Chains A and B, each alone.
Chain A
């Protein structure tokens, strides 16, 4: 009966199909013959870097070909899970590590790489050691860290700060006293794409860390009963609601999505003074913001400490790396090809240069030596410094937790920012999914 509705629903799904890249053609990802397969994310400029790295490997190894297929970010998340569940996974599975990787491990779908890393110690030692935590499940390594490190950064708009005559915040108290100052000047203190939910989560990640230290969330990740009821957690949740109540975020933030980059636009069009966001937004702001970045108007800093908090002010959070796993359903020949790619094709000097060119910091020790000369050298050095000096660098919560707990978390965060639940209700609700 609902034929016209169903028809339009199907039509809406037809835009995000996969596209082929790399060597060969033919079928998508059925584990066939000796050639390995590799699924990764589309979207420039990162897609180009990934494709180039793959092409270089294929040219250098005519007998070990890897066929790449690209997917759009959100479509990939469901597609890869379905494929892995149906034993149709590609040889190399691109991912975010953490909770999703753990569910692959529990289902026996990915290879244990611990002994391979022991045999190839050089591959391991050249990468940031913090990058390995999200690749590790029960003490064993199931993924190869790759690509770039992406800490969350507090950006500030120098033009707006100068106009209002304010100084960048050195503490949580500074933040709260800057809020009325900017509001009085008609500028939103903080930009926020609140509809995307994980954007709000970044605030909680830092407040939990600064108030109670990294062990507060670690207890949640470890599945300790009642971990969300920690007084430090309640304090952090209360602080973020205080900020919402003080109109710290731009009016209508719940209508703004991060995927449209409207939150970035608010900062570079001087409508907002500050923004807490991933280091990956730097590239978009410099390409879309006119002379905002090139004119030196963008300031950046690590999240400031909270008065009386236990957290280490050098700690950060975000994406320690991206991850490549090997499907346990692949043939031995495909697995060998994948390992060869990990050892000789991932984060080669050429790929490192490509990443730096996109405004990213590769997860390679000593990459800072290569940053000089880049037009974004200041920012890249800042990111490298934050990432390499961080006392702790936990992964974003929604990636670290299981998908089930992460969905519950994002749902509760959205309610918390709507002020429709109290910090205590948030903690009670989240305690219900601990360990899931």
Chain B
């Protein structure tokens, strides 16, 4: 904690008498969330860890088989490939989404009325279900009956989902198209939190729009950027539905991310053991990422951003 104690810390210095009673009531309030988390988060997770040491086809008896599933998964050349594809989707999604969401967020944070209207329009992709988006894009990208063929534009008439690199690019594009509105919304909220007075002071000092953006907006949004980036990175790790409907992980395994690989092994090949092993790997990578993002954000993320600026 810094010298300037955040509001939360003040309640931690209560009178000795009221202290125990108050913390007891707080603990009680956390109970429903804890129960739900344990029942739907921790228990299934333990189940998955347990299943990863068994052999099960989803039908017959579950037979413990030690490390068989783990050896099968870890020696499969498909695993490093799936990890690489997952990393590519993650990194490319972040690279595409962050700058665009940031700019749109700053833009729609303005209070002009036309911007409010645009903000509503920008938000539309987020309202659609991923499956619907995937089916729509699949139809639009069809090489013979899609947009390119319909409009007669040869540039758009590519084998979009049939060539490895193109298919990966399409996945990143569609994922970004879907989630940029959400992250713009986060940035819009972040920008509106920045005190007007800072911009007024900068204007008096003669700073232009661009200078204001880099000297005030961007530094002030540091924690918003970290929050949004965490959502993008951890989110794309488990991203499944759109990819599955759009490409089915193909062509061959070009867009098979860890999550798609897990589903294919578990529910198409009926190998629940190896699928559970991949699920455990997903959890570990996700946890590591989330921790890393907290580290990047610094441990004092509750501190005020205003001081020292």
- Do the two shown chains form a genuine complex with each other? yes
Using a CB–CB cutoff of 8 Å, the interface residues on chain A facing chain B are 1-2, 4-6, 8-9, 11-13, 15, 78, 81-82, 84-85, 103-104, 106-109, 194-195, 197, 250-257, 260, 262, 265-266, 271, 402-404, 406-408, 411, 414-415, 418, 420
Q: Which of B83-130 contact A (CB under 8 A)?
A: 126, 129-130
Complex Cα gap A408–B252 (Å): 11
In the complex, how many angstroms separate the beta carbon of B242 from the nearest chain A beta carbon?
8
Question: How distant is B290 from chain A, measured CB to nearest CB, in Å?
Answer: 6
Q: Which of B143, B239, B247 contacts A252 (CB 8 A)?
A: B143
Q: Bound state CA distance, A194 and B247, in angstroms?
A: 11
Interface residues on B, range: 35 or more
Pick from B19-27, B211-219, B266-274 the stretch touching chain A.
Answer: B266-274
Pairs of residues from A and B, 5 with the lowest C-beta to C-beta distance, nearest first: A254-B162, A252-B143, A407-B269, A12-B131, A252-B159
Q: In the docked arrangement, what's the CA distance between A32 and B117, Å? A: 56
Q: How far is the CB of A347 from chain B (nearest CB, A)?
A: 29
By a beta-carbon cutoff of 8 Å, the part of chain B in contact with chain A is 57-61, 126, 129-132, 138-139, 141-145, 158-164, 178-179, 182, 230-231, 234-235, 238-241, 245, 247-248, 250-253, 264-265, 267-271, 290
Task: Determine the chain B residues whose CB is within 8 A of the CB of A197 once the complex forms.
Answer: 248, 250
CA A8 – CA B129 in complex, angstroms?
6
B161 touches A254 (CB 8 A): yes
From known contacts A85-B59, A262-B144, A262-B145, infer whether A9 and B268 are also in contact, taking CB-CB under 8 Å: no
- Which residues on A sit within 8 Å (CB–CB) of B231? 1-2, 4-5
A403 partner, pick from B60, B158, B160, B270, beta carbons under 8 A? B270
With A and B bound together, what is the CA distance between A253 and B139 in angstroms?
A: 14
By the criterion CB–CB under 8 Å, are A255 and B143 in contact?
A: yes
**B75 shortest CB reach to chain A, Å:** 12
Given contacts A109-B59, A260-B139, contact A9 B130 (CB under 8 A): yes
CB < 8 Å neighbour of B269 from A1, A84, A404: A404
- Of B145, B239, B240, B271, which is within 8 A of A404 by CB? B271
Once A107-B60, A404-B270, A411-B252 are accepted as A-B contacts, the answer to whether A2 and B145 lie under 8 Å apart by CB is no
- Shortest distance between the CB of A411 and any CB in chain B (Å): 7
Residues of chain A with a CB closer than 8 A to B142's CB: 255-256, 260, 262
Residue of A nearest to B60 (CB): A107
Complex Cα distance, B145 from A251, in Å, reads 12
B3 → chain A closest CB, angstroms: 31
Query: What are 27 of the A-B contact pairs (CB < 8 Å)?
Result: A2-B231, A6-B238, A8-B126, A8-B178, A9-B240, A11-B129, A12-B130, A15-B131, A107-B61, A195-B248, A250-B144, A252-B160, A253-B162, A254-B159, A254-B250, A255-B141, A260-B138, A265-B145, A266-B144, A403-B270, A407-B269, A411-B252, A411-B264, A415-B253, A418-B164, A418-B252, A420-B252
CB of B160 within 8 A of CB of A255, answer: yes
Contact between B161 and A4, CB atoms less than 8 A apart? no
Which residues of chain A come closer than 8 Å to B234, judged between CB atoms? 1-2
Taking a contact as CB atoms under 8 Å apart, the answer to whether A407 and B264 are in contact is yes
Task: Tell me the smallest distance from the CB of A83 to a CB of chain B, in Å.
Answer: 10
Among A85, A194, A407, A411, the residue within 8 A (CB) of B162 is: A194
Pairwise interchain contact A107-B268, C-beta atoms closer than 8 A: no
Task: Point out the residues of chain B lying under 8 angstroms from A6, CB to CB.
Answer: 238
* A353, B248: Cα distance in complex, Å: 38
- Smallest distance from the beta carbon of A263 to chain B beta carbons, Å? 10
Known A-B contacts A82-B58, A255-B142; A2 and B235 likewise in contact (beta carbons under 8 Å): yes
Most buried by A among B158, B162, B234, B248: B162
Question: With a CB–CB cut-off of 8 A, which chain A residues contact B248?
Answer: 195, 197
Contacts of B141 in A (CB 8 A): 255
Distance in angstroms between the alpha carbons of A196 and B264 in the assembled complex: 14
**Shortest beta-carbon distance, B272 to chain A, in Å?**
10
- Are A81 and B59 within 8 A (Cβ)? yes
- Alpha-carbon distance A388/B126, docked complex (angstroms): 54
